Chains A and B, each alone.
Chain A
Amino acid sequence: QLQLQESGPRLVKPSETLSLICTVSSGSIRHSNYYWGWIRQPPGKGLEWIGSIYYSGSTFSNPSLERRVTISVDTSKNLFSLNLSSVTAADTAVYYCARLHYDYASGTYKGFDQWGQGTLVTVSS
């Protein structure tokens, strides 16, 4: 069973860069039928899609976060990562990594079908 695990600092200072890694195990990140994404949930609020990446390196980001978001993939280590720059208290959230099922043959998407447990990142001085 594929597993995703988020890792990174739990506390980040305002104006600094939030950096997280998602390690994928029991499955290859180099699969044509999957994108890999980051999603967050601020306390008491709904989920917010941050961005997605394909193993080739092609990325898509939430327009509201685009200027601050960098998502990259390391296929040799089977992981992908998130950098969010110039953070404020509004970036405090549980951050999830997830797999987006993409049916390469039909070109359609079948949902975020595997998720990590999530990690709470707090922005505070």
Chain B
Amino acid sequence: QSALTQPASVSGSPGQSITISCTGTSSDVGDYDLVSWYQHHPGKAPKLIIYEVTKRPSGVSNRFSGSKSGNTASLTISGLHTEDEADYHCCSYAGSGTWVFGGGTKLSVL
């Protein structure tokens, strides 16, 4: 069970859109529609923003959207706000009750 692969960092300007990729294998991301994404501001608890690849919990802005193609899931944030600056982590079910996270991506809003 290896960690999912995410870019270490991405950046964008306010109002722009960015996409963060999350690459796994046919045993996790590719096999289950159970990818979730978490927004994590330093020193705070991570916050669930996407589950089951594309679904948003109640209260999460529709500027956040998720998708998946093959072994790669993606998180898109549209209309960037300065408060979107945070770390973003993907997570996938890997079978037999186990879960695997990505290495995290630091989003800078310049």
Contacts and interface: CB of A to CB of B under 8 A. Distances in A.
Interface of A: 37, 39, 45-49, 52, 60-64, 96, 98, 101, 108-113, 115-118
16 contacts: A46-B103, A47-B89, A47-B101, A48-B101, A49-B100, A60-B97, A62-B1, A98-B46, A101-B51, A109-B34, A109-B93, A110-B55, A111-B36, A111-B48, A112-B36, A112-B38
B91 interface: yes
Nearest to B105: A46
Contacts of B38: 47, 112
A101 B75 CA distance: 20
A47 B104 contact: yes
Given A112-B48, A113-B51, A116-B45, 17 more contacts: A37-B99, A45-B103, A46-B3, A46-B89, A46-B101, A47-B46, A47-B91, A49-B100, A60-B97, A60-B98, A61-B98, A62-B1, A63-B98, A110-B55, A111-B52, A112-B46, A113-B48
A116 B46 CA distance: 9
Contacts of B51: 101, 109-111, 113
Contacts, number: 71
A49 B101 contact: yes
Interface of B: 1, 3, 6, 34, 36, 38, 44-48, 50-52, 55, 57, 89, 91, 93, 96-104
Residue from the set B38, B44, B47, B97 with the largest chain A CB neighbour count within 10 Å: B97
